Structure 1
Amino acid sequence: MTFVQLIDCRTNRFEELDRLMDQWVEQTRGRRTATHAVVGKDRGDTSHLVEIVEFPSYEEAVRNSKLPETDRIFREMSALCEGKPTFTDLDVVRDARLNADTARRFFEVAITSDDLSPLTGLVEQDYRHHDPANEQDLVGLDGLRRELDAWRAGFDFTFRVEDRVAQGDLVSVRWSWDGIHRGDFLGIPATGERVAMTGMTILRFSTSGRVAEGWWQYDRLGLLGRLGALEAPEL
């Protein structure tokens, strides 16, 4: 179970404290178990700071606290604070990564659903679609629907989201795809060929939580070769 520790302190020496945190990160490289750290400053009281540190588990947090660098940095940190920092230990019981969840839903609708109407609530109307196979970017939700319809018309396929990584307003998705060429695709008549590929998509989300932009990378050249659409090079 993911574990989070809140460190609450007061100080007017934030720059020194910040440098101290950088030292800890550098000195514990390769040995620390903390996976994510955020420091927030109280808008109503700029001397009030809260650091949020995430660990894979409580046991990993205990291991981290036993590092000699952690003990030393804590003592130096305490010297910079007004009073002793306080700690709150939390077991995470709900972890809603909203953009990552929306990305999963986007692929469920866009790739595997027969009904594309839910895209209206998931994608911005001025969505921009980047695909190196297209001469120009597609702009707009209707353009995305046409692109998806072309793939649906050409193949009976399955699509699997393998990994999702979220940071800020971006979600990176690694996926795999395999299908049978059952219909016209880019002017290529149905071949009955079974094809497969993997790819990556980076989705950028707007402040409203909808997909605003997408960058798609996959081996379309290899796909066309499997469909017999590429001429063999002359020897």
Structure 2
Amino acid sequence: MTFVQLIDCKTSRFDEMDRLMDTWVEQTRGKRTATHAVVGKDRSDASHFIEIVEFPSYEEAMRNSNLPETDKVFRELVALCDEMPTFTDLDVVRDEKLYAATARQFFETVGTAGELPPLNGLMAESYHDHDPSNEQDVIGMDAMRREADMWRGAFDVRFTIEDQISEDDRVCTRWTFTGTHHGDFMGLPPTGREVTMTGTTVFRFDDDGKIAEGWWQYDRLGLLSQLGALDPLET
């Protein structure tokens, strides 16, 4: 079970504390077990800081605490605090990856049968799309709707999410696209063929939690080959 520790302290010497934490990170490289750390400053009290440290489990947190470097840094950290810091140990019972869920919902929405549902709950109005198959970037949510409708008009779009990796404001999704070619696509009349295509999309999210920018990479050549649009190699 994921474990989180909250370290609550007050200090007027944060710059020194920040340098101390950099030193600890360097000294414990390859040994520390923390997977994520965030430090926040109280907006109403500039001397009040809270560090949130995430570990894979309580046992891994204890391994981290028992490192000799951790003990040394802790004593130096206490000396930089205006008062004794407090610690709160938490077992994580709910962990929502909100950006990743929104990215998944985008693919589910595009794959919805019938009229394309609204995208304003998922995408920013100023959405910026980077697709190497387009001569120019697609700018704006309405333009992205037209792009999605082009694909949906040619195929009964279905996405399977294979993997997702989320970091900061970006989510990378590896997906598999399947569909039957039932409409015009890049000048190709319907073939009735069932096609499969793999791809990866990186979405950047804005401060409102909406998709603000996207970068696409997918096997367009493989798709055209399945549609019979490429000449067979001469032997």
Structure 1 segments (4+ residues) deviating >6 Å: none
What's 2:206 paired with?
206
Counterpart in the other structure of 1:13 = 13
The 1-side partners of 2:89 and 2:185 are apart by 56
**Which residue of 2 is the match for residue 122 of structure 1?**
122
Aligned to 2:148: 148
Please, which moves more after superposition, 50-59 or 147-156?
A: 147-156
**Larger deviation, residues 183-192 vs 210-219:** 183-192
The C-alpha deviation readout for 1:166-189, integer Å capped at 9, x for no partner, is 333322222122334343321123
**What letter is aligned with 1:162?**
E
**Cα distance change, pair 60–112 in 1 and its aligned pair in 2 (3 A):** farther
- Alpha-carbon deviation of 1:78? 1.6
**Is the contact made by 2:113 and 2:156 (CA closer than 8 Å) also made in structure 1?**
no
Displacement after TM superposition at 1:88 (Å):
0.5
Cα distance in 2 for residues equivalent to 1:12 and 1:126: 41
* CA distance in structure 1 between the aligned counterparts of 2:233 and 2:160, rounded to whole angstroms: 34
Q: Which moved more, 1:219-228 or 1:21-30?
A: 219-228
Q: TM-score, normalised by structure 2?
A: 0.88
TM-superposed deviation, 1:157? 4.8
Q: What CA deviation, in whole Å up to 9, does each residue of 1:148-176 have, x standing for no partner? A: 22222333453112222333332222212
Matched, 1:108 2:108: yes
Displacement after TM superposition at 1:46 (Å): 2.0
Single out whichever of 129-138 and 113-122 deviates more from structure 2.
113-122
Residue 42 of structure 1 deviates from its aligned partner by 2.1
Q: CA–CA distance in 2 between the matches of 1:121 and 1:15? A: 40
* Contact kept in structure 2, 1:3 and 1:55, CA below 8 Å: yes
Query: Could you tell me how far apart the structure 2 residues matched to 1:3 and 1:233 are?
Result: 56
Superposition pairs for residues 47-196 of structure 1, below 5 Å?
47-196=47-196
The CA deviation at 1:234 is 6.9
Give yes or no for contact 2:111–2:157 (8 Å, CA) kept in 1. no
Gaps in structure 2 of 5+ consecutive residues? none
Using the alignment, how far apart are the partners of 1:127 and 1:69 within structure 2? Answer: 46
* Overall identity of the aligned pairs, in %: 64
| Counterpart code for 2:82 | E
- CA contact under 8 A between 2:162 and 2:174: conserved in structure 1? yes
Contact 2:110 2:157 in 1 (8 A): no
Instruction: Look up the match of 2:226.
Output: 226
Q: Report Cα offsets for 1:94-147 as digits up to 9, x if no partner.
A: 323332222221111112443422323222333222211011122233322222
Q: Supply the distance in 1 between the matched residues of 2:48 and 2:141 (Cα, whole angstroms).
A: 45
1:15-71 CA deviation, whole Å, 9 max, x = no partner?
221121112212222222111101112233222221110112212211211222211
1:201 is displaced (CA, Å) by: 1.1
Match of 1:36 in 2: 36
For structure 1, the residue ranges without an aligned partner over 5 or more in a row are: none
Give the distance between the partners of 1:183 and 1:19, measured in 2 at CA: 61
